[in-house]
Amino acid sequence: MHRELFYIAGFDPRSPKYYYSIFKNNINKTSAIEQDQLNLGKLKKDELFYFDIEYKGCKTRYNFLAWNDIASKHFCKGFLDIFNALFASLVGHLFSGVSRMVAKHSRTQLIAGYYPILSILSIYFFIGLICYVLSNFIESVILWLVISIFILYFSSKAIFYLGNKAGIFWLLSIYRFCYRYAKGEIDGIEARNESFANEIIKSLKNSQNISSEIMVVAHSVGSIIAISSVANVIRKCKALGVDISNLKLVLIGGCTPLASFHNHGDKFKNDLEVVANSGITWLDFSSKIDGACFFMVDYVKLLDRSVKNSPNLISVRFFKIYDKQTYKNIRYKWYEVHFLYLKATQIRGGYDYFYLVADPNKLEYKKF
């Protein structure tokens, strides 16, 4: 059995080296992998960053389809950028159909969507109120203005620091990115999706026998990138006469509706329709306690288009794969939970990322 795996990370400026370190540190702890049968290679660089895994006679090449440089350009990086992202998020949610659809199908995501927006606006309203109250006690307009600017400047510094720690600006950056992605306004992303597709097609051409598997695995916002890239693969393979029966798609903690719910996201909806009508094996994992994903939302059925298949939606029950104390500690830490899909489990059975990517059984025969 040979598996070629292509991993697409979420909206994160960190490089493949970071994600390799997560994988390396956690595969040695997870409950589903028998360590005496595991051989994990070092991270190498060819055309892509990759490493090899050998487990129970199955050889997996784990490739990174990196776009962290593009993600980095769209992170909130300063005071003015925050308000630019606030405006884009408000417009993107209120006037593009997203809020209505999210309110109907995922209340958790509605709260998560407005959490950074309302938090920042409330804080600055409170700062403005303090400055207004000070004006009643300071007779000199110039002195009041200097003090107000001082308060605004250092408050903004504190807000930016704490906001980054709390993941507020990460969420805000994601909403702005997805809004622009749906509108086709992300520079360089089309070329990157094209290059991702070409790498996957190259592997498909070299792996046309039944004992091979080409798996595309994407986390978080990477699910949106993966769908566009896989749609490109399917279109090109159809034109070239390349068999795609070995192609598999796995989305983990995804937020696909942030692009597919937009009224103006026709291009992405077309990509989603192509993947849904391709007949490939397609799994979508999500968890109820993950505040940054759309839990068990069938976004394909909600396309209101002629589609043959939806992804196989699978609930990740973290309370079944972690002991009670660990689960209690992470239950309400939504940022940590969102990355928990990529980490070691404590109790065997159910979802396990390392079983998913390394076990010799093909994806369609695995049990979660």
Strand partners, 237: none
CA distance 321 to 352: 8
Among 89-103, 130-144, 239-253, top mean pLDDT goes to 239-253
Residues in contact with 50: Cβ distance below 8 Å, sequence separation at least 6, in sequence order:
43, 44, 61, 62, 63, 64
pTM of the model: 0.88
User: In the Cβ-directed half-sphere of 282, how many Cα atoms lie within 13 Å?
Assistant: 21
Question: How far, in Å, CA of 300 to CA of 279, rounded?
Answer: 13
User: Within 48-167, where are the H helices?
Assistant: 68-73, 79-94, 98-105, 107-135, 141-166
- As a whole number, mean pLDDT of residues 291-300 equals 90
Residue 100, pLDDT > 80, answer: no
In tens, the pLDDT along 198-214 reads 999 999 998 877 778 99
Query: What's at 135, amino acid-wise?
Result: S
From residue 176, give the alpha-carbon distance in Å to each of 135, 205, 239: 36, 37, 34
Residue 152 to residue 127: CA distance in whole angstroms = 7
Is 109 or 208 the better-scoring residue by pLDDT?
A: 208
Domains of the chain: 2-69+189-363 (3.40.50), 75-181 (no CATH)
Cα separation of 196 and 204, whole Å?
A: 13
**Whole-number Cα distances in Å, 77 to 86, 163, 176, 313:** 13, 11, 13, 35
Q: Please state the rounded mean pLDDT for residues 58-78.
A: 93
Residue 188: count of CB within 10 angstroms of its CB: 11
The pLDDT tens digits of the residues spanning 8-29 come to 999 999 999 999 999 999 999 9
Q: What is the pLDDT of residue 94?
A: 61
Q: How far apart are CA 181 and CA 320, in angstroms?
A: 36
> Does 91 score more than 90 pLDDT?
no
> What are the b/e assignments for 40-63, b being 16+ CB within 10 Å?
beebeeeebbbbebebeebebbbb
Residue 102 has pLDDT above 70, yes or no: no
Contact between residue 342 and residue 21 where contact means Cβ atoms under 8 Å apart: no
* Per-residue pLDDT at 346: 93
pLDDT at site 108: 63
